[in-house]
Structure 1
Amino acid sequence: MKVAIAGGHGKIALLLARQLTAAGHEAVSLIRKPEQSDDVRATGATPAVLDLEHSTATQVAETLTGCDAAVFAAGAGPGSTIERKWAVDRDAAVLLAAGAQLAGAYRFVVVSSMGAGEGDPDSDDVFQVYLAAKGQADDAVRESGLDWTIVRPGGLTDDPGTGRVAVGDHVGRGTIPRADVAAVLVAVLEAPSTARTTFELIGGDVPIDEALASLPPGPPV
């Protein structure tokens, strides 16, 4: 499988690229800055310079040519403005979905957030807007013609992965190592049964494949 990863220089994306290539897949990591290319190549992935804040769906589709799947792992990041929450956490996700559809990369996975959709879009609080933007992006992806999966992790840590998680509609507050989020994304891409599902994700006691197998299947196309 050839997988495009948006936000390719982010912590989860770099872990994901390394895990995908180790599993025998091909990864193309979308980055904004050419100087990030060496970090991407070190994971085994191929860098592709593309700024989702200043691109068209056609340009995205051209970059995704030949890809089977796409993962949205981008984010405006801590300290960013309200405007960038909308521009990256919502608009860039919607743009990637449009480009993926044009390119025929129909398997589409979103790294969302626990609490997505619960924020106040009119708030002056950046985190409230972040949750609102994530929720609106998730809604737009669900309305696309893609085989989507929306993963909503809890608090992210840099602890070593355990390979064990808790998943479900509502799993309660908790944290999860980024390495385990990446491992879940790989497993989701390899599990067609997770298409058209949305689930929360935190660290837990159940092996990843077993946890994903426990999810109810998404609705048929």
Structure 2
Amino acid sequence: MRIVIAGGHGKIALRLERLLAARNDTPVGLIRNPDHAADVEAAGAEPVVIDLENTTVTQLTEKVMGADAVVFAAGAGPGSGAARKATVDRDAARLLADAASLAGVRRYIMVSAIGVDDGPAPGSDPVWAAYVEAKRAADDDLRQRSLETDWTILRPGRLTDDAGTGKVWLAPKVERGEVAREDVAAVIVALLDEPATIGQVLELVGGTTPIAEAVRAVGA
């Protein structure tokens, strides 16, 4: 499969690219900074330079043409302000959905965040609140595209760089907790292989169920 990954130099994306390349898929990492191309190549992916905040849907469509699926793993990242939460976490996700639709790519995996439907807690830091609202808006937009997009929304808990355990808790609603980025990447691979997860919003934290079994269970 040819899988296009927005945010191709991110910590989850690089792990995902390695997993896909290891099983002879063709991962394509969309990156803004050409200096990151070597890291993407080292992960086994094809780097494609495009700035999701400063491109057109036509230009992005050209980059996803011929893909079997797209994964939105981009984010404005720590240190960015509220404005970039909107332009990356919300607007770029919508743009990727538009481009995928124009390119005829139905499968879309959205990497979101746990609990965003609840909105930011009262008194939250304004930048954090903007991030939550951006993620919620992007998810809401994707959920309205069921006629054109075979989407799955994955909402991990607090991300860590710990080694993955290969075991998780995956369900429409879970208690908040941590999850290793390595395990998030492995779950994305399993979701790509399980059509029964299409149309589902799934929360993810570390747990005791092997990833393949956890994905089969939510697809049953």
TM-score range, shorter chain: over 0.9
Q: Report what 1:87 is aligned to.
A: 87
Secondary structure at 1:97 match in 2? helix
Deviation, structure 1 residue 178: 0.2
Which residue among 171, 180, 183 is the counterpart of 1:180? 183
Alignment gaps of 5+ in structure 1: none
- 1:44-95 per-residue CA deviation (whole Å, 9 max, x = no partner) reads 1000001110111111110111111000000011111110001000000000
Alignment gaps of 5+ in structure 2: none
- Aligned-partner Cα distance in 2 for 1:124–1:88: 19
Percent identity between the two aligned chains: 53
Q: Which runs of 4+ in 1 moved over 4 A?
A: none
Q: Report what 2:140 is aligned to.
A: 139
Deviation, structure 1 residue 117: 3.0
The answer on whether the counterparts of 2:172 and 2:200 sit within 8 Å (CA) in structure 1 is no
Secondary structure at 1:52 match in 2? coil
Bigger mean CA deviation after superposition, 112-121 or 52-61 = 112-121
Aligned-partner residue type, residue 179 of structure 1: E
Deviation, structure 1 residue 124: 6.4
- Aligned-partner Cα distance in 2 for 1:17–1:44: 6
Secondary structure at 1:54 match in 2? coil
- Aligned-partner Cα distance in 2 for 1:168–1:199: 5
Q: Normalised by the size of structure 1, how large is the TM-score?
A: 0.95
Paired residue total: 217
Aligned-partner residue type, residue 156 of structure 1: L
- Aligned-partner Cα distance in 2 for 1:84–1:58: 22
The answer on whether the counterparts of 1:4 and 1:67 sit within 8 Å (CA) in structure 2 is yes
Q: Report what 1:160 is aligned to.
A: 163
- Aligned-partner Cα distance in 2 for 1:31–1:99: 16
Aligned-partner residue type, residue 32 of structure 1: R
The answer on whether the counterparts of 1:117 and 1:133 sit within 8 Å (CA) in structure 2 is no
Classify 1:216/1:27 alpha carbon distance in 2 versus 1 (closer, same or farther; 3 Å): closer
- 1:178-211 per-residue CA deviation (whole Å, 9 max, x = no partner) reads 0000000000011111111111000000011111
Bigger mean CA deviation after superposition, 112-121 or 164-173 = 112-121
Counterparts of residues 183-198 of structure 1 (less than 5 Å): 183-198=186-201
The answer on whether the counterparts of 1:68 and 1:104 sit within 8 Å (CA) in structure 2 is no
Q: Report what 1:148 is aligned to.
A: 151
The answer on whether the counterparts of 1:166 and 1:211 sit within 8 Å (CA) in structure 2 is yes
Bigger mean CA deviation after superposition, 2-11 or 137-146 = 137-146
Counterparts of residues 1-221 of structure 1 (less than 5 Å): 1-120=1-120, 125-144=126-145, 145-215=148-218
- 1:86-119 per-residue CA deviation (whole Å, 9 max, x = no partner) reads 1000000000010011111111000000021333
- Aligned-partner Cα distance in 2 for 1:164–1:142: 27
Deviation, structure 1 residue 135: 0.6
- 1:122-168 per-residue CA deviation (whole Å, 9 max, x = no partner) reads x8611111111101100101112210000000010001111100011
Aligned-partner residue type, residue 99 of structure 1: A
Deviation, structure 1 residue 216: 5.0
Aligned-partner residue type, residue 141 of structure 1: L
- Aligned-partner Cα distance in 2 for 1:142–1:131: 16
- Aligned-partner Cα distance in 2 for 1:142–1:58: 22
- Aligned-partner Cα distance in 2 for 1:80–1:163: 31
